[in-house]
Protein backbone atom coordinates (compact mmCIF):
# COMPACT_ATOMS: atom_id res chain seq x y z
CA UNK A 1 0.00 0.00 0.00
CA UNK A 2 1.31 3.51 -0.80
CA UNK A 3 2.32 5.79 2.03
CA UNK A 4 -0.61 8.14 1.39
CA UNK A 5 -3.17 5.32 1.44
CA UNK A 6 -1.62 3.93 4.59
CA UNK A 7 -1.88 7.40 6.19
CA UNK A 8 -5.53 7.52 5.12
CA UNK A 9 -6.21 4.17 6.81
CA UNK A 10 -4.58 5.37 9.99
CA UNK A 11 -6.49 8.66 9.86
CA UNK A 12 -9.79 6.74 9.60
CA UNK A 13 -8.84 4.57 12.58
CA UNK A 14 -7.84 7.64 14.60
CA UNK A 15 -10.84 9.65 13.42
CA UNK A 16 -8.50 12.42 12.31
CA UNK A 17 -11.04 14.52 10.41
CA UNK A 18 -8.66 17.41 9.69
CA UNK A 19 -6.27 15.49 7.46
CA UNK A 20 -8.84 13.51 5.46
CA UNK A 21 -9.55 15.94 2.63
CA UNK A 22 -5.87 16.76 2.07
CA UNK A 23 -4.81 13.12 2.12
CA UNK A 24 -7.64 12.15 -0.24
CA UNK A 25 -6.71 14.92 -2.69
CA UNK A 26 -3.06 13.96 -2.38
CA UNK A 27 -3.82 10.32 -3.21
CA UNK A 28 -5.84 11.40 -6.27
CA UNK A 29 -3.05 13.81 -7.33
CA UNK A 30 -0.62 10.90 -7.11
CA UNK A 31 -2.74 9.19 -9.77
CA UNK A 32 -4.70 6.77 -7.61
CA UNK A 33 -8.19 5.91 -8.84
CA UNK A 34 -11.08 6.82 -6.53
CA UNK A 35 -11.88 3.11 -6.11
CA UNK A 36 -8.30 2.39 -5.08
CA UNK A 37 -8.47 5.15 -2.47
CA UNK A 38 -11.72 3.65 -1.18
CA UNK A 39 -10.63 -0.01 -1.26
CA UNK A 40 -7.03 0.35 -0.15
CA UNK A 41 -7.15 3.46 2.03
CA UNK A 42 -10.53 3.97 3.67
CA UNK A 43 -11.92 0.44 3.82
CA UNK A 44 -8.97 -1.23 5.56
CA UNK A 45 -9.19 1.56 8.15
CA UNK A 46 -12.92 1.08 8.62
CA UNK A 47 -12.54 -2.74 8.66
CA UNK A 48 -10.10 -2.33 11.52
CA UNK A 49 -12.56 -0.05 13.33
CA UNK A 50 -15.29 -2.67 12.85
CA UNK A 51 -13.14 -5.44 14.30
CA UNK A 52 -12.08 -3.33 17.30
CA UNK A 53 -15.66 -2.17 17.88
CA UNK A 54 -16.95 -5.74 17.83
CA UNK A 55 -14.22 -6.78 20.24
CA UNK A 56 -15.17 -3.99 22.64
CA UNK A 57 -11.85 -2.17 22.19
CA UNK A 58 -13.41 0.87 20.52
CA UNK A 59 -16.51 2.67 21.69
CA UNK A 60 -19.36 4.57 20.05
CA UNK A 61 -17.78 8.08 20.19
CA UNK A 62 -14.58 6.78 18.60
CA UNK A 63 -16.50 4.91 15.92
CA UNK A 64 -18.51 8.03 15.16
CA UNK A 65 -15.27 10.03 14.83
CA UNK A 66 -13.87 7.43 12.43
CA UNK A 67 -17.10 7.44 10.49
CA UNK A 68 -17.10 11.22 10.21
CA UNK A 69 -13.51 11.12 8.98
CA UNK A 70 -14.47 8.57 6.37
CA UNK A 71 -17.46 10.66 5.29
CA UNK A 72 -15.15 13.64 4.68
CA UNK A 73 -13.12 11.58 2.25
CA UNK A 74 -16.22 9.99 0.71
CA UNK A 75 -17.62 13.42 -0.11
CA UNK A 76 -14.66 13.86 -2.50
CA UNK A 77 -14.68 10.27 -3.80
CA UNK A 78 -18.42 9.69 -4.20
CA UNK A 79 -18.92 11.83 -7.35
CA UNK A 80 -15.80 10.30 -8.91
CA UNK A 81 -17.03 6.78 -8.17
CA UNK A 82 -20.42 7.53 -9.67
CA UNK A 83 -18.86 9.18 -12.74
CA UNK A 84 -16.60 6.23 -13.43
CA UNK A 85 -19.51 3.83 -13.00
CA UNK A 86 -17.58 1.79 -10.47
CA UNK A 87 -19.52 -1.17 -9.09
CA UNK A 88 -20.08 -0.70 -5.39
CA UNK A 89 -20.81 -3.65 -3.12
CA UNK A 90 -24.53 -3.02 -3.57
CA UNK A 91 -27.24 -0.70 -2.30
CA UNK A 92 -28.53 -0.51 1.25
CA UNK A 93 -31.65 1.38 2.29
CA UNK A 94 -31.86 2.16 5.99
CA UNK A 95 -34.23 3.67 8.47
CA UNK A 96 -35.40 3.63 12.08
CA UNK A 97 -38.98 2.37 12.15
CA UNK A 98 -42.21 4.28 12.72
CA UNK A 99 -42.60 5.76 16.19
CA UNK A 100 -38.92 5.42 17.05
CA UNK A 101 -36.59 8.43 17.30
CA UNK A 102 -33.38 6.58 18.19
CA UNK A 103 -30.95 6.91 15.31
CA UNK A 104 -27.42 6.68 16.70
CA UNK A 105 -27.15 2.92 16.13
CA UNK A 106 -28.77 3.18 12.71
CA UNK A 107 -26.30 5.94 11.76
CA UNK A 108 -23.46 3.65 12.77
CA UNK A 109 -24.90 0.92 10.57
CA UNK A 110 -25.06 3.42 7.69
CA UNK A 111 -21.44 4.37 8.19
CA UNK A 112 -20.25 0.77 8.50
CA UNK A 113 -22.14 -0.18 5.35
CA UNK A 114 -20.64 2.79 3.53
CA UNK A 115 -17.25 1.74 4.84
CA UNK A 116 -17.87 -1.74 3.45
CA UNK A 117 -18.41 -0.23 -0.02
CA UNK A 118 -22.21 -0.01 -0.19
CA UNK A 119 -24.16 2.89 -1.60
CA UNK A 120 -26.36 3.83 1.34
CA UNK A 121 -29.63 5.73 1.39
CA UNK A 122 -30.79 6.68 4.84
CA UNK A 123 -34.50 7.43 5.25
CA UNK A 124 -33.91 8.76 8.77
CA UNK A 125 -35.98 7.98 11.84
CA UNK A 126 -39.69 7.49 12.56
CA UNK A 127 -40.10 6.04 9.07
CA UNK A 128 -43.61 4.94 8.09
CA UNK A 129 -43.98 1.53 6.39
CA UNK A 130 -45.19 3.27 3.21
CA UNK A 131 -42.05 5.36 3.10
CA UNK A 132 -39.93 2.20 3.29
CA UNK A 133 -42.05 0.74 0.48
CA UNK A 134 -41.51 3.83 -1.69
CA UNK A 135 -37.80 3.71 -0.85
CA UNK A 136 -37.54 0.10 -2.00
CA UNK A 137 -39.42 0.94 -5.20
CA UNK A 138 -37.43 4.11 -6.02
CA UNK A 139 -33.93 3.30 -4.80
CA UNK A 140 -33.94 -0.43 -5.66
CA UNK A 141 -31.77 -1.54 -2.73
CA UNK A 142 -30.24 -5.01 -2.44
CA UNK A 143 -30.75 -4.83 1.30
CA UNK A 144 -33.27 -3.00 3.45
CA UNK A 145 -32.10 -2.42 7.02
CA UNK A 146 -34.49 -1.46 9.80
CA UNK A 147 -33.56 -0.36 13.30
CA UNK A 148 -35.71 -0.21 16.45
CA UNK A 149 -34.70 0.62 20.01
CA UNK A 150 -38.04 0.35 21.76
CA UNK A 151 -39.96 -2.80 22.55
CA UNK A 152 -43.05 -0.85 21.52
CA UNK A 153 -41.71 -0.04 18.03
CA UNK A 154 -40.30 -3.46 17.16
CA UNK A 155 -43.71 -4.44 15.79
CA UNK A 156 -43.39 -1.69 13.18
CA UNK A 157 -40.73 -3.90 11.57
CA UNK A 158 -43.30 -6.62 11.07
CA UNK A 159 -45.83 -4.12 9.67
CA UNK A 160 -43.20 -2.78 7.29
CA UNK A 161 -42.36 -6.27 6.01
CA UNK A 162 -46.09 -6.90 5.47
CA UNK A 163 -46.40 -3.63 3.53
CA UNK A 164 -43.43 -4.61 1.36
CA UNK A 165 -45.03 -8.01 0.72
CA UNK A 166 -48.37 -6.37 -0.14
CA UNK A 167 -46.60 -4.04 -2.58
CA UNK A 168 -45.19 -7.16 -4.34
CA UNK A 169 -41.60 -6.12 -3.60
CA UNK A 170 -40.57 -8.72 -1.04
CA UNK A 171 -38.62 -10.91 -3.45
CA UNK A 172 -36.60 -7.92 -4.68
CA UNK A 173 -34.90 -7.09 -1.40
CA UNK A 174 -33.22 -8.82 1.53
CA UNK A 175 -34.37 -7.51 4.89
CA UNK A 176 -31.98 -7.06 7.77
CA UNK A 177 -33.05 -5.87 11.22
CA UNK A 178 -31.35 -4.80 14.41
CA UNK A 179 -31.47 -2.65 17.52
CA UNK A 180 -31.14 -3.34 21.24
CA UNK A 181 -34.45 -5.20 21.84
CA UNK A 182 -34.31 -7.15 18.57
CA UNK A 183 -33.21 -10.81 18.47
CA UNK A 184 -32.62 -13.50 15.90
CA UNK A 185 -35.79 -15.27 16.98
CA UNK A 186 -37.80 -12.07 16.48
CA UNK A 187 -36.26 -11.76 13.01
CA UNK A 188 -37.30 -15.34 12.22
CA UNK A 189 -40.77 -14.73 13.61
CA UNK A 190 -41.48 -11.68 11.42
CA UNK A 191 -39.87 -13.11 8.27
CA UNK A 192 -36.76 -10.93 8.07
CA UNK A 193 -33.77 -12.40 6.23
CA UNK A 194 -31.28 -11.56 8.93
CA UNK A 195 -30.49 -10.00 12.28
CA UNK A 196 -27.27 -8.29 13.37
CA UNK A 197 -26.44 -7.33 16.91
CA UNK A 198 -24.09 -4.49 16.02
CA UNK A 199 -23.20 -2.16 13.18
CA UNK A 200 -20.08 -3.98 12.02
CA UNK A 201 -21.94 -7.31 11.88
CA UNK A 202 -24.77 -5.59 9.98
CA UNK A 203 -22.37 -4.59 7.20
CA UNK A 204 -20.88 -8.11 7.12
CA UNK A 205 -24.33 -9.68 7.00
CA UNK A 206 -25.50 -7.32 4.24
CA UNK A 207 -22.63 -8.62 2.10
CA UNK A 208 -23.46 -12.24 2.95
CA UNK A 209 -27.15 -11.76 2.18
CA UNK A 210 -26.33 -10.36 -1.25
CA UNK A 211 -23.97 -13.18 -2.14
CA UNK A 212 -26.27 -15.90 -0.76
Task: Return residues touching ligand B1M (CB under 6 A).
Answer: 60, 99-106, 108-109, 145-147, 149-152, 176-181, 196, 198-199, 202
CA distance 93 to 68: 19
Residue nearer to ligand B1M on the CB measure, 34 or 196: 196
Q: Which is nearer to ligand B1M, 42 or 120 (CB)?
A: 120
CB 184, CB 38: distance < 8 Å: no
Residues in the chain: 212
CB of 2 to ligand B1M, least distance (A): 32
Angle at 102 between CA 187 and CA 109, to 5 degrees: 60
The side-by-side arrangement of strands in the sheet containing 118-122 is 118-122, 90-96, 143-147, 174-178, 194-195
Choice between 11 and 109, CB closer to ligand B1M: 109
Shortest distance in whole angstroms from residue 60 CB to ligand B1M: 5
Residue (64 or 169) nearer to ligand B1M, CB: 64
Taking the complex as a whole, the smallest distance from the CB of residue 58 to ligand B1M amounts, in Å, to 11
Shortest distance, position 106 Cβ to ligand B1M, whole Å = 5
Contacts of residue 34, defined as CB under 8 A and 6 or more positions apart, other chains included, come to 28, 77, 80, 81, 84, 86
Which residues does residue 118 pair with via DSSP β-bridges, in sequence order? 90
Amino acid sequence: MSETLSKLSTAVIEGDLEVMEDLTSQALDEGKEAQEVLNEGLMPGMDHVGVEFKAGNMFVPEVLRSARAMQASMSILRPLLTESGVELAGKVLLGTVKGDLHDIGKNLVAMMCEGAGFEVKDLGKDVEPDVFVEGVRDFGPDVLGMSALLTTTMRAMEHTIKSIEEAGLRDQVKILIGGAPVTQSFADQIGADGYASNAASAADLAKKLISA
